[in-house]
């Protein structure tokens, strides 16, 4: 018998009663840190009334770690379901995650559970009974009798005192294999006390309140997995079926290997690694606090570190050996930001896939970016399956009588999940994510910064691994030692002179990311002296930003990229602006989001804005077509224009509302890209019929709902028009009713046609590629087929009906207008349709993205700014992504070619002098004296051109910010960080009128203070007078220079340095 996995540490004894004592006893199971699952009748004194006193003991009586808690009922099963959830007064930490399942198939499944039946109560002790037996999935009834039957292997004799021998076992969690499938609620004495009944998990896990409680207090929303009898050993009668399955498995693994190799082969940085531009990767064993103190973990970590430095052109056999020894091994790669973690694991994946000895022995390495996983709402296993199906649609094909191929590969350990960027997840998600990572019994490789794993308990650890260490300065010399000037610079840093600036430079330049940025800075003509001047400011963030600023201009500089086709010669200004929008889109979409999904672009716009744009486009296209037809038939231009206006208004409003409803509906998947494709010659009749049945109700229901909205809008408009013309109320009602019926019929017809179109949709071919462009093209074909079919059928039907009742002229208009409106509306209610509206039309029109979006994204990948990960793009460097997102103006397209000061530059540096008192202003003579000194202290720019100095008096106090240099704002009251976006919005709101007062209520603690006393890093200020020096060939003024400037101005001053 296959034994099920259940955790004795989660067993709960539930005692209920009142002030006079306990009246009832039952069993429960800890499914979250504060949630215990049990039977409803155990915790209710009467229907709907809970016991006044509920005590819970969690843990096996034999264990030392037994927890006693007070509890209250927080949820009961919907309807008459005999299940309930108890909320504990304090958390209980038990490692692992509860997995949910539903038994399927015809063969009885082994089950087990732990409970406290009354028959085992002896010597005043509630003893644990190990329930075990068979669960026949096909037994049971319907409605309130939709219960699992549990046939016990051993059972107590029936009692003669009137008590039930199984009382107390109510609430026992039933496990099949490693999944919780139900809760014991009663016994059946007819079968000699050997049969119990359990409430199936599938009958209550769907409940919204239940799922929300698990999301808040547990491991995330429950996801049911089909549980079937394991595949039996091969027999002569089953060998043919097994061989076909094995052949299909081998084919899918081979295709997945090729697809992942194609993605990695297109990686610009990977190509550079193999072309001779090498950087060694130094590492050491990960700390025991994270790996655990088990000897095996220490030995594995030490063996991996012993191969340091790792050669990225080698097969990285030391890492591979761990997985060849134990297929389901787990490894950890630590390192600070920019240390090369992502490059290492991508190179490891490529090396494994190219190694013939690995193929067929080890799992297929697939890289998953963890920033998009929410462990509160989704299990890790389910998320991995979903991502695999998204990026490799051929794995979404279903296996007969089972799940999809993606599920097969993940669950059975055929995929080595390389989970990149644990530190990219939001901080509040780290703890639930770690619980799931520990519980997942699959091969994986996790990358993270060390500080993101602070929730790992030293006594438990995580798993063995390595920690990447810094490059050496000798490594840096091989990349930057191209001129005497840079050689002297590196020799100074290497000399360990004790200077703080040299130490800071050594810290920054010895990460692969910053060294790459320094190379770009060098290629752009930057001098080491300017880098040294920034380092003297003492800010690591400022130095990193200074180097990051050079990356995009260098990458898009035409003279440095002569081999790029002219049609892709984007200017650095525009490319930086568009990349900034993409980075800001990810930042607004979700903390730590990494995937640039074409179907999500534009969704950070407000929903009302998206509704207006979508509705307006639908209305304009459809109403224009009707107006053209009307203009041919009618000789009354005013009537044609009035019809055009009313149709734009009505159709636009209707489809705008439908777009909003579809966007807000949690169950709606209309804006998800389809994994199917149109294919008449593939797929069996059975598969097509099954797909048609599955899509019938959702598509017909959605069509009917949309049609009713359409009918209500047009019916309401017709009714208002009739009332204005003083029609009788009966006529008004008929106008409204006619349109409501017509809209409902149109929607119903659209739903039926769409359901029939599903017959043409088949699973994706394994040989098809999975790039973003290919997925987009495939969805375009599906949408065009659906829209054309719906528009043609409904246009003919609606036009024919209109001709019959109102004549040919009106019938033609109704047919063209109705058919085109429905076709366009159906098109926009899809992933591809929304992409056309927002990404191909609105975002380029508003300057946020280029008109040739796909070409730009592919070009950015080719230049090494982005990388392709299956069907999505990602920024290669998270630090670069965050840097681009910081200053990006959301609504202002860039000017081409010239800076605000008239020079040809992508950005400007401004050094400002302001009085320390925000309200103080100097006289003209004092200003002339100060400007003369500023000119002496500030050298001119190249070719003898003088530096530009602006002097400004403001009527009211104005903000003088530091632009992109702003790293942090601290609150002087609670000492915590303030959201910089809050400050940016505040400054933007007062950019025209200034500040009449600096008093403010800070968002962090709600305290009252003033803007000028906040802790700005870099400095910011407020003033009514400012001297601005544009692009000075120097950095900060020294203390002596500031004193001299203050003496000439007649008032203490402060300096602000901005990067714009």
The DSSP line for 18-69 is ETTEEEEEEEEEE-SSSEEEE-HHHHEEETTEE-SEEEEEES-TTSS--EEE
Q: pLDDT-based confidence at 561, cuts 50/70/90? A: low
In a domain, 556, yes or no: no
In a domain, 840, yes or no: yes
Mean pLDDT for the stretch of residues 324-339: 80
Peptide bond between residue 1058 and the one before it cis (omega within 30 degrees of 0): no
**Is the pLDDT score of 479 beyond 80?**
no
Report the alpha-carbon distance of residue 1003 to residue 1011 in Å, rounded: 12
- Asked if 118 contacts 163 with a C-beta cutoff of 8 angstroms, the reply is yes
The last residue of a domain, from among 449, 468, 487? 468
Same domain, 442 and 334: yes
Same domain, 754 and 857: no
pLDDT at residue 653, rounded to an integer: 87
Q: What are the residues whose beta carbons fall under 8 Å from the beta carbon of 57, sequence distance 6 or more?
A: 12, 13, 15, 66, 67, 68, 69
In a domain, 559, yes or no: no
Tokens encoding 303 = 């063996």
Residue 190's domain is classified under what CATH number?
2.40.10.120
In a domain, 904, yes or no: no
Q: What are the residues whose beta carbons fall under 8 Å from the beta carbon of 712, sequence distance 6 or more?
A: 739, 740, 743
Residue 576's domain is classified under what CATH number?
1.10.10
Count the Cβ atoms, other than its own, within 10 Å of residue 413.
15
pLDDT digits (tens, 9 = 90+) for 690-728: 666 667 777 788 888 888 888 888 888 888 878 888 888
Residue 369's domain is classified under what CATH number?
3.40.50.300
Mean pLDDT for the stretch of residues 394-418: 84
Mean pLDDT for the stretch of residues 459-486: 79
- Asked if 100 contacts 150 with a C-beta cutoff of 8 angstroms, the reply is no
Tokens encoding 1022 = 């407020």
- What phi and psi, each to the nearest 5 degrees, are found at residue 25? -130, 140
Least confident of 34-38, 99-103, 647-651, 753-757: 753-757
- Asked if 640 contacts 629 with a C-beta cutoff of 8 angstroms, the reply is no
Same domain, 143 and 273: no
Residue of 900 and 443 predicted with greater confidence: 443
Report the alpha-carbon distance of residue 290 to residue 330 in Å, rounded: 13
The last residue of a domain, from among 431, 449, 468? 468
Report the alpha-carbon distance of residue 546 to residue 1034 in Å, rounded: 14
Domain range for 528 is 473-549
pLDDT digits (tens, 9 = 90+) for 341-358: 888 888 888 888 877 666
pLDDT at residue 892, rounded to an integer: 44
In a domain, 555, yes or no: no
Strand partners, 915: 1053
Same domain, 709 and 767: yes
- 312-315: long-range pairs with CB below 8 Å, 24+: 312/273, 312/278, 312/279, 312/280, 312/281, 312/343, 312/344, 312/347, 313/273, 313/274, 313/278, 314/351, 315/351, 315/352, 315/354, 315/355
pLDDT at residue 669, rounded to an integer: 67
Report the alpha-carbon distance of residue 177 to residue 110 in Å, rounded: 7
Report the alpha-carbon distance of residue 597 to residue 832 in Å, rounded: 12
**Is the pLDDT score of 123 beyond 70?**
no
Least confident of 284-288, 758-762, 827-831, 968-972: 758-762
- Asked if 675 contacts 390 with a C-beta cutoff of 8 angstroms, the reply is yes
Same domain, 857 and 934: no
In a domain, 894, yes or no: no
Q: What secondary structure letter does DSSP report for 172?
A: P
- Asked if 570 contacts 903 with a C-beta cutoff of 8 angstroms, the reply is no
pLDDT at residue 377, rounded to an integer: 76
Q: What's the half-sphere exposure (Cβ side, CA atoms, 13 Å) at 642?
A: 6
In a domain, 236, yes or no: no
Number of domains comprising the chain: 6
Report the alpha-carbon distance of residue 38 to residue 46 in Å, rounded: 16
pLDDT at residue 787, rounded to an integer: 82
Nearest C-alpha neighbor of 595 from the set 581, 609, 585: 585
- Give me the percent of the chain exceeding a pLDDT of 70: 84
- The answer, as to whether pTM is greater than 0.85, is no
Same domain, 575 and 648: no
pLDDT at residue 190, rounded to an integer: 62
Same domain, 539 and 629: no
Q: pLDDT-based confidence at 51, cuts 50/70/90? A: very high
Same domain, 826 and 870: no
Q: pLDDT-based confidence at 688, cuts 50/70/90? A: low
- Asked if 172 contacts 115 with a C-beta cutoff of 8 angstroms, the reply is yes
Same domain, 583 and 615: no
Q: pLDDT-based confidence at 175, cuts 50/70/90? A: very high
Q: What angle do CA 225, 228, 233 make, to 5 degrees?
A: 135
Mean pLDDT for the stretch of residues 1006-1034: 86
pLDDT digits (tens, 9 = 90+) for 178-199: 899 999 998 876 665 678 999 9
Exposure string of 1028-1041, with b = 16+ CB inside 10 Å and e = fewer, is: bbbbbeebebeeee
pLDDT digits (tens, 9 = 90+) for 212-250: 898 888 877 788 888 887 655 545 544 555 567 777 888
Helix 729-757 vs helix 685-724: crossing angle, to nearest 10: 160
Q: What are the residues whose beta carbons fall under 8 Å from the beta carbon of 556, sequence distance 6 or more?
A: 570, 571, 572, 575, 576, 863
Mean pLDDT for the stretch of residues 435-445: 83
Mean pLDDT for the stretch of residues 604-628: 83
Same domain, 328 and 456: yes
**Mean pLDDT of all residues belonging to the chain:** 80
The last residue of a domain, from among 468, 496, 525? 468
Strand partners, 958: 1023
Q: What are the residues whose beta carbons fall under 8 Å from the beta carbon of 951, sequence distance 6 or more?
A: 927, 931, 1026, 1027, 1028
Least confident of 55-69, 118-132, 910-924: 118-132
pLDDT at residue 358, rounded to an integer: 66
**Is the pLDDT score of 111 beyond 90?**
yes
In a domain, 687, yes or no: yes
Same domain, 928 and 830: no
Residue of 959 and 5 predicted with greater confidence: 959
Same domain, 818 and 866: no
């Amino acid at each position: 018998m296959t034994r099920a996995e259940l955790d004795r540490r989660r067993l709960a004894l539930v005692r209920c009663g009142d002030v006079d004592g306990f009246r009832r006893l039952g069993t429960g199971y800890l499914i979250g840190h504060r949630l215990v699952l049990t039977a409803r009748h155990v915790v209710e004194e009467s229907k709907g009334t809970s016991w006044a006193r509920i005590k819970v003991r969690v843990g096996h009586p034999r264990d030392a770690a037994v927890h006693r808690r007070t509890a209250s009922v927080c949820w009961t099963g919907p309807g008459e379901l005999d299940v309930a959830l108890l909320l504990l007064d304090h958390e209980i930490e038990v490692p692992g995650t509860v997995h949910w399942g539903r038994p399927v198939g015809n063969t009885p499944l082994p089950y087990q559970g732990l409970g406290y039946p009354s028959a085992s109560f002896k010597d005043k002790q509630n003893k644990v009974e190990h329930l075990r037996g068979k669960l026949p999935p096909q037994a049971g009834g319907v409605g309130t009798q939709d219960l699992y039957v549990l046939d016990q292997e051993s059972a107590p004799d029936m009692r003669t005192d009137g008590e039930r021998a199984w009382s107390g076992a109510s609430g026992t969690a039933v496990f099949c294999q490693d999944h919780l499938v139900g809760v014991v609620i009663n016994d059946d004495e007819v079968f000699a006390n050997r049969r119990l009944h359990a409430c199936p998990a599938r009958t209550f896990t769907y409940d919204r309140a239940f799922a929300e409680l698990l999301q808040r207090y547990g491991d995330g929303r429950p996801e049911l997995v089909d549980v079937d009898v394991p595949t039996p050993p091969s027999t002569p009668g089953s060998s043919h079926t097994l061989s076909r399955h094995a052949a299909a498995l081998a084919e899918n693994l081979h295709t997945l290997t090729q697809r992942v190799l194609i993605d990695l082969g297109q990686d610009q940085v990977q190509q550079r690694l193999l072309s001779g531009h090498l950087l060694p990767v130094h590492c050491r064993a990960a700390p025991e606090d994270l790996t655990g103190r088990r000897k095996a973990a220490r030995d594995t970590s030490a063996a991996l570190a012993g191969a340091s430095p790792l050669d990225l052109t080698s097969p990285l056999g030391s890492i591979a050996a761990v997985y060849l020894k134990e297929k389901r091994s787990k490894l950890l790669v630590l390192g600070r930001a920019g240390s090369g973690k992502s490059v290492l694991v991508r190179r490891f994946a490529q090396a494994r896939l190219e190694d013939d000895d690995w193929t067929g022995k080890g799992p297929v390495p697939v890289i998953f970016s963890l920033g998009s996983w929410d462990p509160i709402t989704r299990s890790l296993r389910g998320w991995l399956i979903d991502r695999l199906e998204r990026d490799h649609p051929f794995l979404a094909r279903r296996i007969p009588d089972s799940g999809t191929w993606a599920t097969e590969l993940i669950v059975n350990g055929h995929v080595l999940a390389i989970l990149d960027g644990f530190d990219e997840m939001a901080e509040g998600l780290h703890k639930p994510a770690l619980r799931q990572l520990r519980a997942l019994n699959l091969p994986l490789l996790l990358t993270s910064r060390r500080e993101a794993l602070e929730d790992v308990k030293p006594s438990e650890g995580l798993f063995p691994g390595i920690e990447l260490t810094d490059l050496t300065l000798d490594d840096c010399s091989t990349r930057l030692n191209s001129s005497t000037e840079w050689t002297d610079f590196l020799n100074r840093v290497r000399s360990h002179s004790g200077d703080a600036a040299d130490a800071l430079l050594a810290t920054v330049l010895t990460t692969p990311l910053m060294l790459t940025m320094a190379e770009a800075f060098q290629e752009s003509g930057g001098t080491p002296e300017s880098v040294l001047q920034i380092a003297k400011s003492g800010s690591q963030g400022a130095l990193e930003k200074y180097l990051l600023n050079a990356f995009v201009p260098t990458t898009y500089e035409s003279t440095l990229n002569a081999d790029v086709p002219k049609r892709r010669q984007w200017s650095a200004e525009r490319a930086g602006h568009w990349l900034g929008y993409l980075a800001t889109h990810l930042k607004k979409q979700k903390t730590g989001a990494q995937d640039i999904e074409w179907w999500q672009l534009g969704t950070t716009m407000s929903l009302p804005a998206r509704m207006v744009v979508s509705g307006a486009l639908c209305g304009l296209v459809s109403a224009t077509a009707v107006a053209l037809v009307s203009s041919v038939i009618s000789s009354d231009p005013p009537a044609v224009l009035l019809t055009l206006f009313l149709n734009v208004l009505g159709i636009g409003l209707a489809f705008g509302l439908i777009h909003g409803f579809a966007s807000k509906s949690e169950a709606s998947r209309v804006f998800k890209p389809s994994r199917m494709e149109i294919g008449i010659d593939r797929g069996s009749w059975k598969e097509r019929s099954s797909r048609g049945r599955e899509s019938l109700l959702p598509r017909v229901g959605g069509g009917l709902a949309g049609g009713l909205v359409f009918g209500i809008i047009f019916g309401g408009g017709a009714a208002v028009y009739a009332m204005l013309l003083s029609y009788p109320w009966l006529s008004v009602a008929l106008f409204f009713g006619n349109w409501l019926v017509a809209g409902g019929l149109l929607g119903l017809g659209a739903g039926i046609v769409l359901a029939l179109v599903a017959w043409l949709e088949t699973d994706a071919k394994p040989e098809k590629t999975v790039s973003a462009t290919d997925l987009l093209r495939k969805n375009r074909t599906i949408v065009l087929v659906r829209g054309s079919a719906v528009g043609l059928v409904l246009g003919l039907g609606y036009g024919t009906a209109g001709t019959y009742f109102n004549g040919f002229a009106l019938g033609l208009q109704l047919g063209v207008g109705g058919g085109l409106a429905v076709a366009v509306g159906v098109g926009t209610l899809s992933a591809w349709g929304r992409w056309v509206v927002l990404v191909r039309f609105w975002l380029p029109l508003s300057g946020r993205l280029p008109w040739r979006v796909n070409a730009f994204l592919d070009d950015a990948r080719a230049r090494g700014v982005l990388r392709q990960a299956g069907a999505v793009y990602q920024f290669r460097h998270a630090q670069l992504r965050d840097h681009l997102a910081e200053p990006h103006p959301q609504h202002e397209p860039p000017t081409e070619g010239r800076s605000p000061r008239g020079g040809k530059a992508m950005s400007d540096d401004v050094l400002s002098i302001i009085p320390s008192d925000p309200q103080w202003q100097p006289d003209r003579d004092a200003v002339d004296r100060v400007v003369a000194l500023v000119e002496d202290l500030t050298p001119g720019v190249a070719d003898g051109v003088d530096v530009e100095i602006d002097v400004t008096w403001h009527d009211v106090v104005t903000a003088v910010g530091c632009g992109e240099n702003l790293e942090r704002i601290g609150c002087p009251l609670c000492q915590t960080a303030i959201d910089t976006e809050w400050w940016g919005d505040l400054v933007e709101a007062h950019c025209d009128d200034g500040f009449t007062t600096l008093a403010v209520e800070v968002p962090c603690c709600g305290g009252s203070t003033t803007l000028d006393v906040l802790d700005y890093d870099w400095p910011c200020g407020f003033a009514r007078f400012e001297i601005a020096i544009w692009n000075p060939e120097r950095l900060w003024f020294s203390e002596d220079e500031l004193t001299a400037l203050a003496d000439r101005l007649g008032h203490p001053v402060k300096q602000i340095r901005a990067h714009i």
